[in-house]
Structure 1
Amino acid sequence: MEIGNKAQKLFLVFTGLFVANAILAELIGVKIFALEDTLGIAPLNWNLFGQTGSLNFTAGTLLWPIVFIMTDIINEYFGRRGVRFISWLAVFLIVYAFAFAFAAIALAPASWWVTVGAANGVPDMQAAFAQIFGQGMWTIAGSITAFLIGQLIDVAIFHAIRKRTGEKHIWLRATGSTLVSQFLDSFVVLYIAFVIGPQKWSIGLWLAVGCVNYAYKVFAAIALTPLIYAARRGLDAWLGKDLSEELKTKAAEA
């Protein structure tokens, strides 16, 4: 009974962390930050596809590498079914969160609350609230579509590599699957949200911003790879050898 409880507790913890990270990435993704200014260095003035400028990223990129690293760990112990279940649950809860965000925006604000932030440079709290939480439907649709495509591609490549390498080369199936899925994720979300969306980005701008965001995600995925090994050692120790091997074997066979 204790063995089953440990596996269930582990899956519950992963589900909670995964969904929390996915929703947070969507909510904070409305902010665009300048990497050079954040690091206190001079602008790099990149030049790609006829576009120049500083390195600007959505704040959501801080969390998405963690989401995809978690996907690989879930893949390792719970296989395709586990990843698909958590991915669809995350999508449902993202839609759920935004539905209530739009409902909150529609509520009539208290007259005193609208100007309560004026002293801090926010003259209209209702407008600020609507701007932050009322992301355009194109952005939401693009993000969710890219997320699902990325997850499905990630799990497929992960298990294709695992089938050929067995338990060896954890870094290859983890990093390889993330690099491919993140490539699609980076460009799909921008294309839906900003190219066919109301802003009508040029193809050059789409490619340039997509490449910059993908380069960041590649760096983050490689840098975080050691965490997979550390997490696996910790989970193997907590689960015990027998349960750990049982979970990984079932995940590989599913």
Structure 2
Amino acid sequence: MRYLDLLTALFATVLLVSNVASTKLVVLGPFTFDGGTLLFPLAYIFGDVLTEVYGYRKSRRVIWIGFFALLLATLTFQAVAHLPAPPDAESQRFGEAFGLLLGLTPRIVLGSLLAYFLGEFANAYVLAKLKVRTEGRFFWLRALASTLVGQGLDTGVFLLVAFYGVFPKEVLLAVFLSNYAFKLGVEALMLPFTYAVVGFLKRAEGMDAYDRDTDFNPFRLT
């Protein structure tokens, strides 16, 4: 498995960068979404590639690595944001800016971690199950179906936990629909690239895993 460590590193990087970028809401045409949405769909594409080539077991391990990387980054940002800055005006100004950007509220932290956990494991589970059912055919359909479920859970859970009662329901619905449509669109547009990467890895690694007897318990790491 020559490329598994590289994919794991890229997956964790996408996850961490998109989590920091999500602190800003952006508007592009009819879409309103957090900045992390620009990059975060790649995490689900990586998830599709990992499950399709290496199987649910290896994908589960990578998901947990990403989870603990995200948890470590979040806890570090929280700790630094709450530590006192030097008394000079410049340091105080930078400290306030850091706190506003990365000193996330507990609801946002909880929403981000819970949404990631549920969404990624749902994505891997659906893709692995459908691969067995279709005997490895229709990867495009399996990738879209797993993303439909995973991204729906991810986006919905995050918004409900982090922002329900903070923003009007109409705003939350608009953000959900914008995020969901954008993420599914990215998945569809990236399918040719995903196909190419999956094909390359299957040939290079000599692997094409089928999870016929897999224990899908997300907490079983052995």
- TM-score, scaled relative to structure 2: 0.88
1:30 equivalenced with 2:23 (yes/no): yes
Q: Secondary structure at the match of 1:108?
A: coil
Shift of the alpha carbon at 1:124?
1.8
CA–CA separation in structure 2 for the residues paired with 1:249 and 1:181 = 20
5+ long unaligned stretches in structure 2: 215-222
Q: Secondary structure at the match of 2:209?
A: helix
2:39 is matched with which residue: 52, 57, 63?
63
Shift of the alpha carbon at 1:252?
5.8
User: Alpha-carbon deviations, 1:45-88, whole Å to 9, x = none?
Assistant: xxxxxxxxxx3211110121100000000001221111211112
Aligned counterparts, 1:14-25, within 5 A:
14-25=7-18
**Residue in 2 that maps onto 1:203:** 169
Partner amino acid, structure 2, of 1:12: D
RMSD, aligned α-carbons: 1.9
**Residue in 2 that maps onto 1:227:** 193
Change (3 A) 1:151 1:110: same
Change (3 A) 1:249 1:174: same
Contact 2:26 2:34 in 1 (8 A): yes
Q: Secondary structure at the match of 1:135?
A: coil
**Residue in 2 that maps onto 1:162:** 131
Aligned counterparts, 1:32-111, within 5 A:
32-36=25-29, 44=30, 55-111=31-87
Equivalent pairs counted in the alignment come to: 214
User: Alpha-carbon deviations, 1:126-178, whole Å to 9, x = none?
Assistant: 11111001011111111111111111111121022111212221111112111
Does 74-83 or 100-109 show the bigger shift?
A: 100-109
Change (3 A) 1:253 1:78: farther
**Residue in 1 that maps onto 2:163:** 194
Q: Secondary structure at the match of 2:23?
A: coil
**Residue in 2 that maps onto 1:47:** none
Higher gyration radius (CA):
1
Q: Secondary structure at the match of 2:85?
A: coil
Partner amino acid, structure 1, of 2:188: I
**Residue in 1 that maps onto 2:219:** none
CA–CA separation in structure 2 for the residues paired with 1:84 and 1:172 = 21
CA–CA separation in structure 2 for the residues paired with 1:84 and 1:124 = 42
Contact 1:145 1:189 in 2 (8 A): yes
Contact 1:105 1:134 in 2 (8 A): yes
Contact 1:142 1:189 in 2 (8 A): yes
Q: Secondary structure at the match of 2:84?
A: coil
Contact 1:162 1:252 in 2 (8 A): no
Contact 1:77 1:251 in 2 (8 A): no
User: Alpha-carbon deviations, 1:64-114, whole Å to 9, x = none?
Assistant: 1100000000001221111211112211111111111122223332344x4
Contact 2:110 2:161 in 1 (8 A): yes
Does 127-136 or 201-210 show the bigger shift?
A: 201-210
1:125 is matched with which residue: 94, 116, 120?
94
User: Alpha-carbon deviations, 1:1-23, whole Å to 9, x = none?
Assistant: xxxxxx0x311111111111111
- TM-score, scaled relative to structure 1: 0.78
Shift of the alpha carbon at 1:251?
5.2
Contact 2:56 2:211 in 1 (8 A): yes
